[in-house]
Structure 1
Amino acid sequence: MAAVQGQKSAELVMASSNKNYKGFVAGVFSGIAKLSVGHPFDTIKVRLQTTDPTRFRGPISCVAQTLRHEGVRGLYKGATPPLVGWMFMDSVMLGSLTVYRGVLGERVFGDVQPASPGSSPYLPSWGHGLAGVLAGLTVSFVAAPVEHVKARLQIQYAARKSERLYSGPVDCVRKLYGAHGARGVYKGLGATLFFRSFFFFWWGSYDVLSRVLRERTALSAPAVNFWAGGLSAQIFWITSYPSDVVKQRIMTDPLGGRLGDGTPRYRSWWQAAQAVYAEGGAKGYWRGFVPCFLRAFPANAMALVAFEGVMRSLP
């Protein structure tokens, strides 16, 4: 009897390890899908969040001016860091999410074991949300420098490279590190950790929506992933968007010193949040929300279709 139980336990451990491995691999494909669909929306969002309110009348004005002065390539400025970074970020985020789901299911929510090798331990929806928070905090240490570099490249409006402070992502990292060390590269880490704590709402609602769609519709598995992924991402952005505005302000704030990019404005997260309110009132925390909201559904829906599809297809 003990031998049989030991064999079953070993099978479960092997299955769990295999599933964790698949999560990291599938996350790479999620990152590629997310970048391909979502980066132009992200560029417009960041520009609206960080520039003087008089520069653009709204999202359409921002798109039109970007295309007129910089062409289509202007919408993909700063795409190189997330192309590499989001592949790695989604691999870390979704891979660690898979690990945390397993740990919480087996260690926190009782002795609920997988029904068979390869299946996941049961989690309540808020348990999925908690796993999302832990994954968000984990990936923040990868996301912060990637998003920092991306944001600084996105707010360079000159069409000619010779007129920009940074010629590209590598040059940006080199100058940030050369002038301010690792702290310069990781500027905005605290704001990133806070922003990604809202992953609770993303992954908690993703589980709720997935269950409802599986139980009450005849949708295929990819269709369930698409609709649940897109809708849960929109729920996430509705809850987290003000914190993202503050994060972007911090990440695009001049660093000063040897970098020679201007005088820093914000010494803390709270000071940046106050500045947003002073400039635009409560509406200031929602500036750029429309392109972000429009981007959230297709980018994350396709990302989760890719993730779940690869998870199902890998041996």
Structure 2
Amino acid sequence: MGKAGGDDAAAAAKKAAAAPTEGSSSAKGYAAGIASGLTKLAVGQPMDIVKVRLQCSPPHMYRGPLDCFLQLARRESLLGLYKGASPVAVSWSISDAVLMGTLHNLRLVFSRWTGSGGENGKKLPVIWHAAAGLGAGWTNSLVQAPAENLKTLLQVQTQRVSLGGRSAGIKAGEQVLFTGPISAAKAIIKHHGPLGLWRTMPATLMFRSSFAVMFGSFELFSQLFTSLKGTRAELSPAFATFLAGGLAAECFWLAAFPADAVKNLMMSDEPGKLRYPTVRSAWREIWYDRPGKEAGVLKRVRGTYRGLGVCLLRAFPTNACSILVYETTMRWMGAEKTTTT
């Protein structure tokens, strides 16, 4: 009896020593988020600029995503596909560190509240994954609102880009307002003060609320693929994570796209000459003014989701890769995994 008790105590001590502390697990969530953000930039930036151009340009400027891509590449060079990438490289690294780190820590908190995770085998309910996504999205907005503002101002400019960073091939009458993110930031601060960088915060919060949909659906898809274990349709863990991440991203964009259109329209405004100072004014432009007062509901919905096709094409590989990198990095670092399947 004494020997058995001693063996149990030794085993418990060994297990406690091998388990990651909650503090180290929390920090690892932020570190894995940086890797996730850089992955998003590498995979998704070219399609992101096409989406923004379709959302913010006059209705008949491009025939569709492919025409927009070809015009941009031909007139502004392939480097033009990475306009606004420098603030995004920094912001997505910080942003995903904040997003995924906050998500991970909220999951840990909710697991303690609900008694989920650990050795009891009880999964954190999907609703709490959605709540963690909502909280992470709102926290992430503090970082992303100014960075996306700068990115959008640079993306809607149409001058050609060269390797030296100089604009080339500027047509008569065209004006280069911003030479880079610093130039754009200075213009915003000059006209609207430092808080002007967060002018579109209400729209950003609306948009990023849809992370509740993304991470809730990610858990649903993960549970579905886990249930296939032992059947002929069983998926490898890596492919299941990749597929769940891509499908969750599609759900996110279907829910978030109208708010994204409002946000980008507000962010495309030239500093000092605001056409859309509020969410209401931007939404009115998208829903009422662009399609025309006599337009039917179907035409208005189509106008609201203008650019959705390229967005969905971009979202699947971008987010599937970034979530796979995040999950793989978390496993590689030995972070405690108490809330995912």
State TM-score, norm by structure 1: 0.89
Q: Partner of 2:87 in structure 1?
A: 81
Match of 2:35 among 26, 29, 34: 29
Q: Partner of 1:311 in structure 2?
A: 330
Contact 1:241 1:289 survives alignment (8 Å): yes
Q: Which secondary structure state, in structure 2, belongs to the residue aligned with residue 167 of structure 1?
A: coil
**1:220-239 deviation line (CA, Å, top 9, x unaligned):** 22111100000000011011
How far the C-alpha of 1:86 sits from its partner, in A, is 0.3
Q: Partner of 1:140 in structure 2?
A: 141
Q: Partner of 1:260 in structure 2?
A: none
Letter in 2 for 1:303: S
Contact 2:153 2:270 survives alignment (8 Å): no
Q: Partner of 1:114 in structure 2?
A: 118
Contact 1:114 1:122 survives alignment (8 Å): no
Say whether 1:238 aligns with 2:254: yes
Match of 1:175 among 163, 187, 195: 187
Say whether 1:191 aligns with 2:195: no
How far the C-alpha of 1:121 sits from its partner, in A, is 7.5
Say whether 1:128 aligns with 2:113: no
Letter in 1 for 2:184: C
How far the C-alpha of 1:270 sits from its partner, in A, is 1.5
How far the C-alpha of 1:126 sits from its partner, in A, is 1.2
**1:59-99 deviation line (CA, Å, top 9, x unaligned):** 11111110110111111111111111101100100000001
Q: Which secondary structure state, in structure 2, belongs to the residue aligned with residue 195 of structure 1?
A: helix
CA–CA separation in structure 1 for the residues paired with 2:110 and 2:56: 38
- Runs (4+) of structure 1 exceeding 4 A deviation are 10-14
Say whether 1:15 aligns with 2:21: yes
Identity of aligned residues (%): 37
**1:132-166 deviation line (CA, Å, top 9, x unaligned):** 00000000000101111000000010226384111
Say whether 1:219 aligns with 2:223: no
Q: Which secondary structure state, in structure 1, belongs to the residue aligned with residue 178 of structure 2?
A: coil
CA–CA separation in structure 2 for the residues paired with 1:27 and 1:239: 23
What RMSD over aligned residues (CA atoms) do the two structures have, in Å?
2.3
Specify every segment of 5 or more residues in structure 2 that has no aligned partner in the other structure, as ranges.
1-8, 161-165, 169-174, 292-299, 335-341
CA–CA separation in structure 1 for the residues paired with 2:117 and 2:18: 9
Residues paired across the two proteins, number: 300
Higher helix residue share: 1
**1:105-154 deviation line (CA, Å, top 9, x unaligned):** 212x2x345218xxx97311111011000000000000101111000000
**1:241-286 deviation line (CA, Å, top 9, x unaligned):** 1111011111112332xxxxxx322232112111101213222210
Q: Partner of 2:51 in structure 1?
A: 45
Structure-2 change in CA distance of 1:13 and 1:254 (3 Å): farther
Letter in 2 for 1:142: V
How far the C-alpha of 1:183 sits from its partner, in A, is 2.4
